[in-house]
Each structure stands twice: as C-alpha cells, then as structure tokens.
Structure 1
Amino acid sequence: MSAYLLLFLFFLLPVASAQTYRWGPCPTPMVQPNFNIQQYLGRWYEIEKLPTSFARGKCIEANYFFRQDGTVRILNQQFYKDKIRRAEGTAVIHDPRNPAQLGVSFSYFTPYSTYWVLSTDYTTLAVVYSCTDILHIFHVEFAWILSRTRFPPPQSVLYAKQLLVNEGIDLSRMTATDQTGCKDT
C-alpha cells in the first residue's frame, strides 16, 4: 500500500506544484452568514489568489448567472498566451441551510469542489476559499479576493487578507492578478 501511495504522490506533485498544498486536513473557516446568492450574481474580478494551475493569465474575471434549473452558471475568462480563454462551470448550493458553502464543477466528469464565500458585501468585495482533502494526508487549498472593480481600494484588499489570516489560511504564496490593459467583453 505504501508503494502505491508514494507512486500516487510522485505523479501528483507536478500538478500540486502549481497549487497551494499543506499537510493535514482542510481547515473549516467561518462563512458569510445569511448569504444571498441572488445578490452575489454578476461579474467579479480576481484581485489576488493563492496559486492555481487553471488561472495563470491576466484580466481574470468570473460571471455568475442563474439557470432555470436552479443552478448557477459560471463563466470564467482570462487573457493567457495572447488569447482570451474561457471556461464554463456550474455552482450548486448543496444545503439551503448553508448557502455560502457552494459546490463548483467545470466538467461533467469531476465532482463538485468546495467554493465557500467567507465574506462579501455583494457590491464591492468577496473573499472565497476552497479546499480539497487528499487521503487525509494533505490538502490543496485555494483562496481568492474578488472585487466588482478591477482596482479596489488597498484597504479593502488588506481587510480581505486579514480575514483569511484570521481563519488560519497561510497567504505567503498569495499573488496579485494583473488587471491592467484589460478590455471588458
């Protein structure tokens, strides 16, 4: 069994190097109380994030829309390698008692990943966290600071970072997203 685990980890490391991974189980940060998905819909710009393998470009944004079936359509966009790249996904609220704990998937073949809205005022800023536990040995985590504008006030970004730190999330690998020279499409 341990040989299989080592082999699994060996093949996982190249993927994990583009992510933020930590030993132990996922933390369970507090989420936005009384979250209202209707107010959250619309366009959000990525301001800062923990590294991901799927969003390496600039001008990164996410758009959220209700579908008739009650799910949320996600349209992500970024400018990467001289092209606009788009990805479409689905968000669902698994438990109406915890609407800030959404599940997100960008493929019919993958399970829903966590997408927890830790804080938002709906009109200027949102702080989002996601974590996937791998065999209870380590976890892969993501965190995003989102804004309704490409250039939010610095104090808003500092507030968001402090909120993440207070929840025990290590921001040493957090990077700013380049939002300069972007065209709205």
Structure 2
Amino acid sequence: MAVHPLSVLVFLVAISMGTAMIYDTFFTRRDGPCPTIPALPNFNVSRYVGYWYESRRFPFPFQYGTKCTKNRYFPRDDGGMNLIYYRDLIWPSNVQLRTKVKLMQTTPGTFEAYAKIAGRYVYMGTYSVIIPGYDSPTFTYSCRDIGFGLGSIEAGWVMKRATTGLTAGEETELQSAATALNINYSQFQPADQSGCIV
C-alpha cells in the first residue's frame, strides 16, 4: 500500500510536537536554534566534581514546587561525569528527590546528557560548562534543537560551592558570558536554599 508523502510529513511533525511538549517539562522554549558553545580546552573534571548548590536557574515545570537544588558530580572512567541532581519537594510534603544523570563528554566541557527517568536513561541534549568556576560560581547550560521550525529548548544553571548569594562582580561576569553566547541571562531566577533537608 502506497503511503502519501504528506501523511509521512504530518506524522513526523506530530512526533516532533509531542517531543517538544515532553521536553517543555524539563526545559524553557527558545526561539531559533541552540547557540554554539565553545569547548573549554583546559576543563578539569577532577577539580569540577563534588557538590554544587544552585544559585540561579531558568524556570521550567520540572523544578516548580522545589527548592534546595544541588548537584553532586562524580568522575567517570571515560572522562565524563555522573551527576546526582537533588531537590526538595515543597508540597504536599517536604521530601528530597533525586535524579541520576550520565554526562558523556564529547569535547572538553561539553557533554551529552542522559537522565534516568522511569528506570531508563533518556537523552536530554547537550550539557555545557560555560564557566567552570571550580571554587567560584559555575555556569552550565543545556540546549536541544526541536526541528521543523519549532526552535529549540534550553535550560541554564548558576551554582556555587556554598549556598551564599552572588556578588555584583560575579553577576556581571555571568551576564557577560551569557550575552556573548546569545543566551538571555534575564531568564535566570534566584534559587531558594533556605530550610533544606540535609
């Protein structure tokens, strides 16, 4: 039985839109394609691993109703990192949630991210370290092109080694780095690190 090309196109668009709706849960919609993120030739995984506490984040439904977000990075034998993403659920009860993420390094500082959802690892897009920080704030960014003229989806995080806020100088550096890559820094919202479950 012959399949009309238009039917195939409609089917592909439907799949793409469905994918977009799923990823809208984990990302913020962006007009246009993902920006090109340069590699960090001297990115040092062993210095980067450990705990990072969220200071700023893009708003998206997956993080609604949560606070006290922190990431713990572990080195992988293949040069990438494993990540445990912690956050406290505010309602209906105050409990800590955890999500495992595999970060497979493609170029220094840039990774393919796979989050464990419903028992299996799902590809989430690129995960790039824009400013490594190490002992000062780190700026990480994730983006995935949707296709079919639907733009892309993105997420961004600013984290520190402690739950202290950002200084004016740190804020300026982060904003400059975002602007240079055509990332809208104004989308970042302050993260709540008060009353956390240890």
Q: TM-score range by the shorter chain?
A: 0.7 to 0.9
What TM-score does the superposition give when structure 1 sets the normalisation length?
0.84
Aligned to 1:37: 45
Q: Which moved more, 1:4-13 or 1:29-38?
A: 4-13
2:90 counterpart of 1:78: no
Identical aligned pairs, as a percentage? Answer: 25
Contact 1:50 1:143 in 2 (8 A): yes
Greater Rg over alpha carbons, structure: 2
Q: Which residue of 2 aligns with 1:154?
A: 167
Is the Cα–Cα contact under 8 Å of residues 49 and 74 in structure 2 kept in the other structure?
A: yes
Q: Which of 50, 60, 63 is the equivalent residue of 2:58? A: 50
- Kindly indicate whether the alpha-carbon contact (under 8 Å) linking 1:20 and 1:173 is maintained by their aligned counterparts in 2: no
Task: Specify the alignment match of 1:168 in structure 2.
Answer: 182
CA distance in 2, matches of 1:9, 1:183: 37
More off after superposition, 109-118 vs 143-152:
109-118
- Runs of 4 or more, structure 1, over 6 Å off, are none
1:173 Cα offset (Å): 2.6
CA contact (8 A) 2:45 2:75 kept: no
Question: Is the Cα–Cα contact under 8 Å of residues 68 and 196 in structure 2 kept in the other structure?
Answer: yes
Please tell me whether residue 87 in structure 1 is matched to residue 65 in structure 2: no
Q: Give 3-state SS (helix, strand or coil) of 1:21's partner.
A: strand
Residues 64-84 of structure 1, C-alpha deviation per residue, up to 9 Å, x if partnerless? Answer: 112456542211110112211
Gap runs ≥5 in structure 1 = none
Q: Is the 2:124–2:144 Cα contact (8 Å) retained in structure 1?
A: no
Q: Verify: 1:27 aligned to 2:35, yes or no.
A: yes
Distance in 2 between the 1:62 and 1:42 partners? 8
Structure 2 residue runs of 5 or longer lacking an equivalent are: 1-5
Q: Which residue does 2:152 correspond to in 1?
A: 139
Deviation at 1:92, TM superposition (A): 1.6
Please say if residues 93 and 103 of structure 1, whose CA atoms lie closer than 8 Å, have aligned partners that are also in contact: yes
The question of whether the paired residues in 2 share the 8 Å contact of 1:62 and 1:75 is answered with: yes
TM-score, normalised relative to structure 2: 0.79
| Alignment deviations for residues 39-67 of structure 1 (CA, whole Å, 9 cap, x no partner) | 10000011111123333310000001124
Count of matched residue pairs: 181
CA distance in structure 2 between the aligned counterparts of 1:126 and 1:11, rounded to whole angstroms: 29
Which residue in 2 is equivalent to 1:61? 70
Please give the residue correspondences for 1:97-112 in structure 2 after superposition, counting only pairs within 5 Å.
Answer: 98-107=107-116, 108-111=120-123
The separation in 1 between residues aligned to 2:185 and 2:82, in whole angstroms, is 29
- Specify the code of the residue in structure 2 equivalent to 1:73: N
Moved more, 67-76 or 32-41: 67-76
In structure 2, relative to structure 1, the CA distance for the partners of 1:160 and 1:31 (3 Å cut) is farther
Task: Determine which structure has the larger helix proportion and give its number.
Answer: 2
